[in-house]
Structure 1
Amino acid sequence: MDAADCDGKAASDPLLRPAISAVRDLGHQVEVRVTFESGDAARYAGEAASEGVEVVVAAGGDGTINEVAGGLLATGISGNTAMGVIPYGTANDFATGTGVLKGDPLKALRLAATGAATPIDVGKVNEHIFVNVASGGFGAEVTANTPPQLKKAIGGAAYSLMGIVTAAKMSPYQCRFTAPDGTTEDGTVLIMAVGNGRQSGGGYQVTPHALLNDGLLDVVVIHDAEITQLGTVLGELLDLQAKSNQFVSYRQVASLELESTTPLQLNLDGEPYRGTRFHFTVMPGALPFILGPDAPLKTN
């Protein structure tokens, strides 16, 4: 049996109802739950897992995936219930990054009903989870400051518009990084990404070497740089592992401590989270997920 958690945008799509009917005609039992407020998706997912539902499908964006995953993990029995996705969000970074594309709910739902689940890692920062990417600094400020009405009106272009506004006000954060062995490194953070997945911000490969099942988080940090150094920064982003990089640092870790002298805005799969002290960890293989054909996975 499949259960689909649908946000308001998904529920109003005229293509979704016939897609559900078509999958039912294939012999699958599909139950639909429509969310009206924050917390509904997590509650429905938890109830489905407790009832032994085989697959819970998140019909929404990255935030809906995050909430459904959190609901499944909170039950403590998430390994028995797999997740699938029908993308309906503004960015849909996780779904797109695995090859599940927006605009064909029948194809996505059929995959969720018939595909095999792969255990993937889940990132965690303090008590909050992220399935895809935790971003911080400039990009997170843009997401947090973009009004929902603007996203609804102009879609992904809203992030570009708010980016122009936010860039004029941004200054780097003063931070300290502490590695698992206790070594510390002080530095500035203009933009950072902690990736379980690779794609964020509406299609940007912010952590291009990340794998969903390697037990590691990929951390990319852009430190303070002047506008005249933008070309150098872009070049370093294309070669993250170069030892000569001055403005961009890259590491793979199982855990990381981050302290900021001022409150730092994070974005966890599109959900805002603000603080000054963050403990990043990874939960290896914690979530069975039915992925698309392009999912970045470690192969044996």
Structure 2
Amino acid sequence: GTANDFATGCGIPPDPEEALALCMEREGVPIDLGKANKRWFLNAASIGFGAEVTANTPSELKRLLGHAAYTLMAAILGTNLRHHQGRLILPDREIAGRGPVAIVGNGRQTGGGVQVAPRAHIDDGLLDVLVVREIPAMALLAAARELQELSPDGEYISYWQTPWAEVRTEEAIPVNLDGEPVRFSSVRYEAVPRAIRLIVPPNCPLLSATVK
């Protein structure tokens, strides 16, 4: 994609000749894919604000500025940040709430290097779910601490690792699947273990320690 997030997260060289040499030298390893209803994704699904940024960034601006185009659009759209009411259903809990953004990650980063799912591995059979709820101005410091801790029990920011998650909202909201804009009011995200084989560098940070 524009920001090359998944390849960067895997440590794949940006230089085409180096990437080709990697393909010639190594064999593919099995990795997971994510599924959103019947749609597949490799890196991440961004729900709400992040998806709006992607959907509203013109192609001409991306060609001109690269991934910096997303930063510009985020600044523009952030002045009118929209919150969505919905429910998150996990294997062991169900949560209702209101907030601007959620991320379901197979990979770790989106938006040009932003680590939205820092504990994710592409071979663990799990998706990493980050949810940001509505944060009052007086709670910004508490939310910042929760962003560092990434606990499942955060009041404003929560993080889970799960084989599946369902999101249900009152209306269809924007979702970005690896850069492709869609809209869902009800969606089930699932990790599909060992779905494809991928050539990655030695000690790829997105592989679990047992298979490096």
Asked if these proteins are the same fold (TM beyond 0.5), I'd say yes
Determine the C-alpha separation between the residues in 1 that align with 2:180 and 2:72: 19
CA gap of 1:297–1:114, structure 2 versus 1, over 3 A, is same
Deviations 1:90-131 (A, max 9, x none): 2000000011132x1100011112212110000000011111
What pairs with 1:73-112 in structure 2 (closer than 5 Å)?
90-102=2-14, 104-112=15-23
Q: Are the aligned partners of 2:152 and 2:160 in contact in 1 as well (CA < 8 Å)?
A: no
What is residue 40 of structure 1 aligned with on the other side? none
What is residue 97 of structure 2 aligned with on the other side? 187
Q: Which amino acid counterpart does residue 202 of structure 1 have in structure 2?
A: G
Which one scores higher on RCO, CA 8 angstroms, separation ≥ 6? 2
Gapped regions of structure 1 (runs ≥ 5)? 1-60, 62-89
Question: Which of 13, 27, 44 is the equivalent residue of 1:133?
Answer: 44
Gapped regions of structure 2 (runs ≥ 5)? none
What is residue 132 of structure 2 aligned with on the other side? 222
Q: Are the aligned partners of 1:210 and 1:296 in contact in 2 as well (CA < 8 Å)?
A: yes
Task: Say whether residues 1:259 and 2:186 are aligned partners.
Answer: no
Give the total of aligned pairs. Answer: 209
- C-alpha root-mean-square deviation of aligned residues, in Å? 1.6
Q: Are the aligned partners of 1:236 and 1:242 in contact in 2 as well (CA < 8 Å)?
A: no
What is residue 116 of structure 2 aligned with on the other side? 206
What is residue 288 of structure 1 aligned with on the other side? 197
Q: Using the TM superposition, give the Cα deviation of residue 208 of structure 1 relative to its aligned residue in structure 2, in angstroms.
A: 0.3
Bigger Rg, structure 1 or 2: 1
Deviations 1:231-288 (A, max 9, x none): 4323321110275x32101111111111011221111111111111101111101110
Question: Which of 136, 144, 151 is the equivalent residue of 2:55?
Answer: 144
CA gap of 1:242–1:283, structure 2 versus 1, over 3 A, is closer
Return the TM-score normalized by structure 2. Answer: 0.92
What pairs with 1:232-247 in structure 2 (closer than 5 Å)?
232-241=142-151, 243=153, 245-247=154-156
Q: Are the aligned partners of 2:152 and 2:159 in contact in 1 as well (CA < 8 Å)?
A: no
Determine the C-alpha separation between the residues in 2 that align with 1:116 and 1:275: 37
Q: Which amino acid counterpart does residue 127 of structure 1 have in structure 2?
A: K
Determine the C-alpha separation between the residues in 1 that align with 2:199 and 2:129: 25
Q: Using the TM superposition, give the Cα deviation of residue 158 of structure 1 relative to its aligned residue in structure 2, in angstroms.
A: 0.8
Task: Say whether residues 1:115 and 2:56 are aligned partners.
Answer: no
Determine the C-alpha separation between the residues in 1 that align with 2:104 and 2:144: 18
Task: Say whether residues 1:279 and 2:188 are aligned partners.
Answer: yes
Identity %: 43
Q: Are the aligned partners of 2:152 and 2:158 in contact in 1 as well (CA < 8 Å)?
A: no
Determine the C-alpha separation between the residues in 2 that align with 1:117 and 1:238: 33
